[in-house]
Structure 1
Amino acid sequence: MINILFTGTAVVLLCFAAYWVRGRGGHRPTGTWAMAALLTSFASYAPAVERAVESVVPHVARLLSNTFTLMAATSVLAFLFQLNLERERAHRKIRLRVIALGISVAGMTAFFLAEQLTGRSPVLYACYVLVHISFLGYTAKDFLLQTWAQSRRSTRRSQRWGLRTTSVGCGFALVYAAYKLFALVSIGLGLGLVPDHARCSTPLTPVRCAFSVTAPAVAVLLIAVGLTLPALLWPLSRLRRRRWEQASFRALEPLWREVTAAVPEVVLDPGHAETGADTHDLDFHLHRRVIEINDGVLALRPYRRAAVRDAAAAEVARRGAADTPEGDAEVEAAVIAAAVDAKRAGLPLDGEEAPPAAGTRSRKGDLPAETAWLLLVADAYPRRPAREHAAATVGAAS
């Protein structure tokens, strides 16, 4: 079970590393090599790698996995520096971290070799752990603070959740660091609280395996997935956005035709108004359609009759839909329809002018909110009950 888990995870993350290294039309995103180093480092946890190196040098798998853990930590921090800091400052901090990594790995290697030559001395092992845990704990703390703070400032949902996933991974890294510190105290005081030779049968048994093996593996996995997630989800979110824009553009066409037929002067580009939206510029075309509908509604203000609005609102209230977005949209659709008819017939305003629709001011400048509102109006526009009831009521009143 544990072999399948770690080997499969290592293969998946190596595929992620290849994804990051692959150029995007000659361009690689910021932090490409840092991310590739991070993702590749997880391969050291695969049992196959451990068995291969142990067959050459006994007990060296521990040094290898610890080295790759520190490399992964440095890679993530380098990635964050490149994202959050100016280029020169980021490079300066990365150089210092790489130097610190080299010193730490050299120290760990020296203590490991001395430990092997002296019969695995507990004191030398404690020094080895101290070097490892000092570097890892300090780096993990920086990860947690930077990723969490950045996640609170991020406006993209995929990036926000990716950074939060990374923060959780940093939490697992701190759990691992705390366990190593506990083991260091146990060894230094000769308490024997942490057995050093027990094999892990599952990711959680014996209990120490949950802290010594599973915690760092989960930490690297979550950090890698969290930092890769935005890059993987961005194309999907863009595709979803384009589909929404295209569907909205088409759904607004009947309402747009009604309004612009009554006030054609609001059309910004009459020469291209009848052509379909370019799939590479859907945002522009949708934005223009929303503006033209709103401008048309504004131009129809002299024909918006308050009596029509009141009659439509009464009909909507009778059906229990008052004070709902759908109900408000149905009332607005009735008012617009009556205004379009009055404009076409050349009838001046008779009575009080109907006020703007509810929420008009709060939606101003917010394309998604304004589009969602107009979609409700466009959906209600062809439905005649409220409009016809309003017209009949107004006609009876006059």
Structure 2
Amino acid sequence: MINILFSGTAVVLLCFAAYWVRGRGGHRPTGTWAMAALLTSFALAFASYAPAVEHAVESVVPHVARLLSNTFTLTAATSVLAFLFQLNQEEEQARRQIRLRVLALAVAVAGMSAFFAAEQLTGRSPVLYAFYVLIYISYLGYTAKDFLFQTWAQSKRSARRSQRLGLRMTSAGCAFALVYAAYKVFALVSIGLGLGLVPDHARCSTPLTPLRCTFSVSAPAVAVLLITIGLTLPALLWPVSQLRRRRWERNSFAALEPLWTDVTSTVPEVVLDPGNTGAGTHDLDFHLHRRVIEINDCVLALRRYRSAPVQDAAAAQAALRGAAGTPEGDAEVEAAVIAAAVAAKRAGDTPEGPEAPPAAGTRSRKGDLHAETAWLLLVARAYDRQGPPATATADATATATATATASEHPSRTTTGAQP
């Protein structure tokens, strides 16, 4: 069970590392190599935890699995900081910080190797082992603490939800790493003072038993998984978000076509490229943006054909349905006004009465493609429900006339209702 757990985790981490090195969408983001080094180091650390690997390497050099796993863990911690430096600092400053961390890592690993070798030559001296652990835990604890503070602070500033979640998971992983570091300090004190509180030769039968394995095995394992998932989550969700965005763009482009066709056939001069009005797989965002702009330009060009009586009548109808003041109700009113304006422009008639003002929220949506598209989708649905512009205009005009007549001669309605 332990072999499957740690070996399987190592394979998964190596797959994550290959995913980062391969790149996504033809590019490699900032910190790619640091992330690959982090995941590879974690994978090797997990592999060294597996009893089968441990027995294999220790058949050559006794107890060397401990040195290997600790070295890989420190390398992963350094890679974490290198990744963060590349994200949050200027390029030259990040390189300087990374060089210092790599130098400190080399010194720490050299010191650990020297004490490990001396410990083996002197019959596993507790004092030498204590110095070995001191180097290891000092470097690891400082790195985990520094990374915890920085990732938590960065999660508060991140705009993307996946990044906030990922950074907070990483912070939680750093907290587990600090638990592991605290356990190691406790073990160091026990060994240095000869208290015997932590059995040095006991084996872990499961990740949770005996109790010390909860801190020595489970805590670092959970820390590694949380940090790995937290740092990889935004990258894994990126293709999903891109797929959802392209599907929304494709559906929106198709849903706006009937409205776009009607208004641009009435005001054809606003079409930016009449010979290229389709949308390919790789330029959906461009063509959707252009379609939104062209519809808005048509609405602006039809301004003098916008009828205030039609707008008032449509607003009254929306109020009767309880949709007044809602986005759907406002869209129905705007669709009626556009349909009437298109019909009037085609007939060459300028509507009598005042000009209808712009739709509600026009100013607040300006420059926001997503908001503009969402609004025009509501208008397009309402426009489709109204039927051809001539029919919609006749209905709206009749309703407007009836509304005006009722307001001017309220007694007629009352009289007509008498037997």
Q: Same fold (TM over 0.5)?
A: yes
Alignment-mate amino acid for residue 45 of structure 1:
F
What residue is the counterpart of 2:15 in the other structure? 15
Deviation per residue, 1:347-375 (Å, 9 max, x gap): 32323333222222221111011111111
Q: Which residue of structure 2 aligns with residue 365 of structure 1?
A: 367
Q: Which of 284-293 and 206-215 deviates more?
A: 206-215
TM-score (norm 1): 0.90
Letter of the 1:7 counterpart: S
Q: What letter is aligned with 2:95? A: H
Q: Distance in 2 between matches of 1:331 and 1:190?
A: 84
Return closer, same or farther for 1:26/1:288 CA change in 2, 3 Å cut-off: closer
Q: Which residue, out of 226, 233, 236, partners 2:237? A: 233
Name the structure 1 match of 2:305: 303
Structure 1 position 77 matched with structure 2 position 81: yes
Q: What residue number does 2:191 align with? A: 187
Partner of 1:68: 72
C-alpha distance in structure 2 between counterparts of 1:349 and 1:171, whole Å: 70
Residues 43, 49 of structure 1: 8 Å contact kept: no
Distance 1:318 1:189, change over 3 A: farther
Does the aligned pair in 2 maintain the 1:107–1:128 contact within 8 Å?
yes
Give 1:79's aligned amino acid: F
Contact 1:312 1:389 in 2 (8 A): no
SS in 1 for 2:355: coil
Kindly state the Cα deviation for residue 158 of structure 1 after the two structures are TM-superposed.
4.0
Q: Cα deviations across residues 174-226 of structure 1 (Å, max 9, x unaligned)? A: 22222222333333444444333333232223332222112212222222233
Matched, 1:93 2:97: yes
**Once the 2 structures are TM-superposed, how far is the Cα of residue 99 of structure 1 from its aligned partner?**
1.1
Query: In structure 1, what is the Cα distance between the partners aligned to 2:377 and 2:27?
Result: 39
Q: CA deviation at 1:259?
A: 1.5
2:153 to 142, 149, 153: 149
In the TM superposition, 1:94-243 aligns within 5 A as 94-243=98-247
Alpha carbons of structure 1 residues 322 and 193: separation in structure 2 relative to 1, 3 Å:
farther
* Deviation by residue 1:214-249 (Cα, 9 ceiling, x = unmatched): 221222222223333333333332232222212211
Q: For residue 46 of structure 2, what is the aligned residue in structure 1?
A: 45
Name the SS for the 1:279 alignment partner: coil
Q: Does 1:395 align with 2:401?
A: yes
- In the alignment, the residues of structure 1 paired with residue 28 and residue 349 of structure 2 have an alpha-carbon distance, to the nearest angstrom, of 63
When structure 1 is superposed on structure 2, of 342-351 and 151-160 the one drifting more is 151-160
> In the aligned structure 1, how far is the partner of 2:368 from the partner of 2:28?
33
Within the alignment, does 1:355 sit opposite 2:357 as a pair? yes
Q: Relative to 1, partners in 2 of residues 1:4 and 1:324: Cα closer, same or farther, differing over 3 Å?
A: farther
Rate the CA distance shift 1:321–1:186 in 2: closer, same or farther, 3 A: farther
- Corresponding residue of 2:408: none
Q: What are the superposed Cα offsets for residues 27-69 of structure 1, whole Å, 9 maximum, x if unpaired? A: 6544333223222222232313222222222222222111110
Partner of 1:345: 347
Structure 2 equivalent of residue 326 of structure 1: 328
SS at 1:381 equivalent: helix
CA contact (8 A) 1:50 1:61 kept: yes
| Farther-moved stretch of structure 1 (25-34 vs 334-343) | 25-34
Q: Which has the higher contact order (CA 8 A, sep 6+)?
A: 1
CA distance in 2, matches of 1:352, 1:268: 31
CA distance in 2, matches of 1:338, 1:318: 21
RMSD of Structure 2 on Structure 1 (CA): 2.6
1:80-132 deviations in Å (ceiling 9; x for gaps): 22233233222221111111111111212222233333443333322222211
**Of 255, 260, 264, which residue of structure 1 is paired with 2:268?**
264
Native 8 Å contact 1:72 1:220 kept in 2: no
Q: Percent identity?
A: 81
Q: Distance in 2 between matches of 1:287 and 1:122?
A: 70
The one-letter code sitting in structure 2 at the alignment partner of 1:303 is Y
Q: Kindly provide the CA deviation profile for residues 299-319 of structure 1, in whole angstroms up to 9, marking residues without a partner as x.
A: 222222232222222222322
Contact kept, 8 Å, 2:312 with 2:400, in 1: the verdict is no
Q: How many angstroms apart in 2 are the aligned matches of 1:93 and 1:352?
A: 68
Q: 1:199 to 1:86 in 2, by over 3 A?
A: same
Are the equivalent residues in 2 in contact too, given 1:315–1:389 (CA < 8 A)?
no
The alignment's TM-score, normalised by the length of structure 2, stands at: 0.86
The residue type paired with residue 324 of structure 1 is T
Q: Is the 8 A contact 1:277 1:285 kept in 2?
A: yes
1:312-360 Cα deviation digits (max 9, x unpaired)? 2222232233332222212221121122222222332323333222222
Q: 1:229 to 1:120 in 2, by over 3 A?
A: same
**1:277 matched residue in structure 2:** 279
CA distance in 2, matches of 1:383, 1:28: 47
Contact 1:147–1:164 (8 Å) recurs in 2: yes
For residues 28 and 303 of structure 1, the distance between their equivalents in structure 2, rounded to whole angstroms, comes to: 52
Contact 1:169 1:219 in 2 (8 A): yes
Where 1:368 maps in the other structure, the secondary structure is: helix
Relative to structure 1, the CA distance from residue 23 to residue 287 in structure 2 (aligned partners, 3 Å threshold; closer, same or farther) is closer
Unaligned runs of at least 5 residues, structure 2: 406-419
Question: Post-superposition shift, 1:71?
Answer: 0.6
Q: Which runs of 5+ in 1 are unaligned?
A: none
Aligned partners of 1:119 and 1:355: how far apart in 2?
Answer: 91
